[in-house]
Amino acid sequence: MLRSVGFAFLILLSQIGATMEERMEHGYYKYHPMTEITSWMQQIVREHPSLVSTEAYGKTFENRTISLLKIGERTSGVEKKAIWMDCGIHAREWIAPAFCQYFVREILQAYNKTDPKMREMMKNVDFYVTPVLNVDGYIYSWTDNTTRLWRKTRSPGPEDCVCFGDGGTDLNRNFDALWGTVGMSHNCCSLFYAGAGPLSEPESQAVTEFVGSRKADILCFLTIHNYGQMVLVPYGHPNIISPNHNELMEVGLAAADAIRGVHGTSYTVGISHDILYPHSGLSMDWARLVGIPFSFCLELRDKGQHGFELPEEQVRATCEEAYAGVLHIVRHVHDKIFCRSGAVAITATTTTLWTTLLVAAWVTGCTTAL
């Protein structure tokens, strides 16, 4: 009897240990290969089944699945507004997928800690987060030291393309946004090869179809890159400016302030052709052109000391500060739609000064503090 009880106890301990190991095995301050990121996505769904689901929305050139995490409170029969975020559009920018993973963890922890603002936002919007968009390229960049700085997709390019890695296309020159005009190349061996035409790549097609079919509900489009420490706003082409440019700049500058407040890191804010270089075919520009009002590209650390090979010891600080900036953007977008539409004017009269004071009273019940 004692032996059987002891055996059962050992089994229970092993199950508890396995569960704890499963929950602890994913490190948020390190880089992960694609297999581990995929396992992590499945783990997040298991741990938060009422909030998180996965959705496959495309295939890569090498026939791998492109998946996202959909995060938010479930609603029955109601189309919610949404925030889009993608990471890993360029294979060598490993800090970007690391940030997407960190972002998911942080918003779920805030929700589970009954943060009133996060609960409010998850009630009103869904977050669509793609941890790695350029799956083929990302996997290839993990092959060995010779492929670590691979940037593009793994499609072969034109038949006569003969170069290291067999071509590939720069996904962030392949979107149907003034494609092929500036800041790109028609040379298939170039890092900035824009592809045979707009949306020639299955990865850019997948984003275009998924986001485009929901563009009326997507409030904000965020794409995460490195390096340079910048908050970029549309457009990459020097001859076009967004109709809400001033607001985009205002939000971007406030996001940079939030970033600087964490570890003192300075981010530059501006139109990409002004503070970076002119370029076309950008996903950020495409999102703004199709009517998504808020569109930003964040270039994370650093300023070039390590570039795309940012040391793992900087992952935590990079993610912490970037989260503060992104959170400001998300909150601004959310509050503009859900917290200010119900404003009413209240009139108060003072009998001594015969003065009328107009006070804006926000009556939607939005939470004002995170």
Mapping DSSP onto H, E and C, the string for 129-167 reads EECCCCHHHHHHHCCCCCCCCCCCCCCCCCCCCCCHHHC
Residue 91 lies in a domain: yes
CB atoms within 10 A of CB 312: 13
Choosing from 299, 312, 313, 321, the catalytic residue is 299
Place of tokens 């404003």: 343
Do residues 288 and 235 make contact, with C-beta atoms less than 8 angstroms apart?
yes
Q: Is residue 136 a part of any domain in this protein?
A: yes
State whether residue 77 is helix, strand or coil.
coil
User: Is the bond leading into 128 cis (omega within 30 degrees of zero)?
Assistant: no
Number of CB atoms found within 10 A of residue 155's CB: 22
Closest CA to 132 of 96, 102, 165: 96
State residue 294 phi and psi, 5-degree precision.
Answer: -115, 120
Residue 7 has what pLDDT? 45
Domain, as residue range, for 243: 22-343
Q: What is the CATH number of the domain that holds 205?
A: 3.40.630.10
pLDDT band at 360 (very low <50, low <70, confident <90, very high): very low
Per-residue pLDDT averaged across 168-185, rounded?
A: 96
Report yes or no on 3 lying in a domain: no
Per the domain annotation, does 366 fall within a domain? no
The least confident of 14-28, 54-68, 99-113, 208-222 is 14-28
Residues 6+ apart with CB under 8 A from 15: none
Q: Name the pLDDT band for 165 (thresholds 50, 70, 90).
A: low
> Mind listing the pLDDT tens digit for each residue in 309-336?
999 999 999 999 999 999 999 999 999 9
Inter-residue contact 333 to 219 (CB < 8 Å):
yes
pLDDT band at 273 (very low <50, low <70, confident <90, very high): confident
Tokens of 325: 């900036």
Q: Mutual orientation of helices 315-338 and 245-263 as an angle, nearest 10°?
A: 140
Q: What are phi and psi of 139, to 5 degrees?
A: -60, -45
Start-to-end CA distance of the chain, whole Å, equals: 55
- Residue-wise pLDDT for 216-264, tens only, equals 999 999 999 999 999 999 999 999 999 999 999 999 999 999 999 999 9
110 vs 99, 114, 121, CA distance in Å? 16, 7, 11
At 114, the pLDDT band (50, 70, 90 cuts) reads confident
| Residue 369 resides in a domain | no
CA nearest 326: which of 294, 365, 356?
A: 294
Q: Is 207 helix (H, G, I), strand (E, B) or coil?
A: helix
Q: How far apart are CA 350 and CA 239, in angstroms?
A: 53
- With respect to residue 12, please indicate whether it lies within any of the assigned structural domains: no
For the segment 14-51, what is each residue's pLDDT rounded down to a tens digit? 454 444 444 557 899 999 999 999 999 999 999 999 99
**What pLDDT does residue 221 have?**
98
Segment 60-84 shows an average pLDDT of 94
Work out how many domains the chain is built from and give that number: 1
Is 257 within 8 Å of 331 (Cβ atoms)? Answer: no
Round the average pLDDT of the chain to a whole number and report it: 88
53 to 44, 48, 72, 103: CA distances (angstroms)? 9, 8, 9, 16
| Residue 71 pLDDT > 90 | yes
Look at residue 94 and tell me if it is in a domain. yes
Is residue 313 annotated as a catalytic residue, yes or no?
no
Residue 358 lies in a domain: no
